Amino acid sequence: MQRNQWAIARRYFPFVRPHLPLTAAIVGIGILQLGASLVTPWMTKIIIDHILVRRDGTWTLGQAMALLGGSFALGIVLQFVRGLFTASLWVRTVRDLRSRLYRHLQTLSPGYYDSRQAGAVASRITSDVEGAQRLISGGALQLVVDALIVVFAGIMVLYLHWKLALLCLAILPLYYLTFRKFNGRIRGAWREVHARMEKLSGDAVERLSGVRIVQAFGREQAERQRFEAQSGEHTEEARKAFFLSNVFGRMNQAYSEAGKWLIWFAGALFVLQGELTIGGLVAFQAYLGQLYGPIYRFSELNVTIQTALAHIERIFEVLDTEPEIRSKPDALQVGSCQGDIRFENVAFGYRSGEEDELHEVLHDITFHARPGQVVALVGPSGAGKSTLVQLLPRFYDPLRGRILIDGTDLRDYRLDEIRGQMAVVLQDNTLFSGTVYENIAYGRPEASMEEIRAAAAAANAHGFISEWEAGYDTLVGERGLRLSGGQKQRIAIARALLKDPRILILDEATSALDAESEALVTGALEELMRGRTTIIIAHRLATVVRADQILVMDRGGIVDRGTHQELLQRSGLYRELYEKQLQAMKAEAFSGLPEASPA
């Protein structure tokens, strides 16, 4: 392997180090197999020369066949045991590497996922991990054994006839030149294949998760065409990679067959001249097969190794990605959190585009939420409300300014502890596949059943959960698709209640609900907000009229602030938004009246 390939392989070695005893056992069994395989050609020579031709009595046929049969049986047993050990090494290393990669993915900030498809990320911990393990189980270990075979088979051919041995070495430079020409190209080709597959699987997961939208808009045919186009691109790249691999393999096969032909021809001449016995020529050809076998097999192993290295490179692309948000080495513990929140001249922006330009979406955000207060954020779409609340759990860090919790900079706290003091309820909350019980207990897995029921009751969820046959053991389906919007929201509120946070973030928690569901969820939210510092984003201004402080946002900044009555008395954006909603509510109420009967 070339220098950069060795560097990649060395980085992978720590994942194998815990399993070195098992790895050594596999290599040891391979050496025993080598010993058994070396017996067969030599016994063939003995049978031909001493038993069939000379009949000199030094060996009986029974002795020779017993030894030959024993070597066959030993080889089969060793291959079976080696197969078991190799499978064990494969599953253990895959488990360890996949766990390490998943743990690292859990530490990466939301910004990492903002620019990547979920399916593409998932492919790193599925197909890439399994592909990477072939470096050891299907490549490197076999390479070690094959190297030993070449050494010992080379010794045997030199012992049998050194002139023929030198002749068979003449084609080895051809193997080396072919390897140098194709090695990098094969790895690059397979890397492109994996990249295309990542894109294909990422798009497929995204489209299938939104299948209702696809069907509602009648876009099935367009999505099929899109998938087939991407599949075609992947197929074309795979065809190129297989073609290169096949050419490499067949060229090496041609060298091997040419070498065998040359040895048969030259060997026959040596037999006719009396320099070599018939048994010696047959044994020489057998050992030559063992010598050329690993060299020829190296073309196949090289494809496996190059493919595995391409997978490993993709894995280390993830492992080398540093979390944008992390705790300081000397980070503080939160202790008893009061929930005092202060934003001081906070600015934030996203980087986007090929030139990685910074687009500032929040600027000069300053406000103070005292413990237990409710602060509402209102404003038109795109004003920066949701971006602002994502700074509180440190999903992102501000570009300028600072955020204080109980008088201490948010960045000075341990990340896990400060997030442990917060709970988030969104417009579209994520419920995971599993039971209602598991979803409510997600933030506190150790909670008792009584605590789960109490949280559900406070969230107005216990009633409908109890009506289900399986109760709290009811499966919610992927992302909670078996539940209505109101049911999902109340389960999400129960999850937040059970966590008992000091700081609560509500982002459009009722905007997508019908009137009946909204009334039930609003009651649950009022219970949830009691005694907690709450930052609430509401599309419907009626939700925030009782807030202690309302911040009016527009174009990334706070343009006004005050209570509901104070803001209504001033002309401005808040009153404009409020009046528009009143008109919309009146129009909605009017449209619901029955039509007047004609006189």
Q: Which domains does the chain have, with CATH numbers?
A: 1-161+296-324 (1.20.1560.10), 341-430+503-592 (3.40.50.300)
More confident residue, 260 or 439: 439
Phi-psi region of 151 (alpha: psi -120 to 50; beta: other; left: phi over 0): alpha
Report the pLDDT averaged over residues 122-126. Answer: 81
User: CB 421: neighbour CB atoms within 10 A?
Assistant: 21
pLDDT tens column, 28-42: 998 898 888 888 888
Among candidate residues 550, 497, 491, the one with its CA nearest the CA of residue 526: 497
> β-pairing, 374-378 with 549-554?
parallel
More confident residue, 20 or 518: 20
Distance of CA 277 to the CA centre of its chain: 61
Report the pLDDT averaged over residues 217-228. Answer: 79
- Range in 66-75, 244-253, 496-505, 588-597 with the lowest mean pLDDT: 588-597
pLDDT, residue 340, reads 94
Residues 6+ apart with CB under 8 A from 543: 376, 510, 522, 536
pLDDT tens column, 448-482: 999 999 989 888 889 899 999 999 999 988 777 78
Confidence of residue 584 (pLDDT cuts 50, 70, 90): low
Distance of CA 574 to the CA centre of its chain: 45
Residues 6+ apart with CB under 8 A from 460: 490, 520, 521, 523, 524
Q: Are 150 and 296 in contact (CB under 8 A)?
A: no
**589 has pLDDT over 60:** no
pLDDT tens column, 37-56: 888 888 888 888 888 887 77
Look at residue 562 and give its three-state secondary structure: strand
**pTM passes above 0.85:** no
pLDDT, residue 599, reads 33
Confidence of residue 370 (pLDDT cuts 50, 70, 90): very high
Report the pLDDT averaged over residues 441-447. Answer: 89
Distance of CA 9 to the CA centre of its chain: 20
pLDDT, residue 598, reads 39
Q: Which helix (H) or strand (E) holds 222?
A: helix 220-272
Report the pLDDT averaged over residues 245-260. Answer: 83
Most confident of 297-311, 412-426, 526-540: 412-426
Confidence of residue 528 (pLDDT cuts 50, 70, 90): confident
> β-pairing, 357-369 with 341-352?
antiparallel
Distance of CA 386 to the CA centre of its chain: 27
**12 has pLDDT over 60:** yes
Provide the token pair at 102.
């998943």
Q: Say what percent of the chain tops pLDDT 90.
A: 16
Report the pLDDT averaged over residues 182-196. Answer: 81
Residues 6+ apart with CB under 8 A from 464: 487, 490
Cβ neighbourhood burial of 300 (10 Å; 0-12, 13-18, 19+) = middle
pLDDT, residue 582, reads 77
- DSSP symbol at 429: -
Q: Are 397 and 465 in contact (CB under 8 A)?
A: no
CA separation for the pair 18, 30 (Å, rounded): 20
pLDDT, residue 369, reads 94
Report the pLDDT averaged over residues 297-309. Answer: 75
Mean pLDDT of the chain: 83
Look at residue 430 and give its three-state secondary structure: coil
CA separation for the pair 172, 262 (Å, rounded): 14
pLDDT tens column, 491-512: 888 888 888 889 999 887 766 5
Report the pLDDT averaged over residues 229-233. Answer: 86
pLDDT, residue 596, reads 43
Residues 6+ apart with CB under 8 A from 125: 98, 101, 102, 105
Q: Are 535 and 385 in contact (CB under 8 A)?
A: no
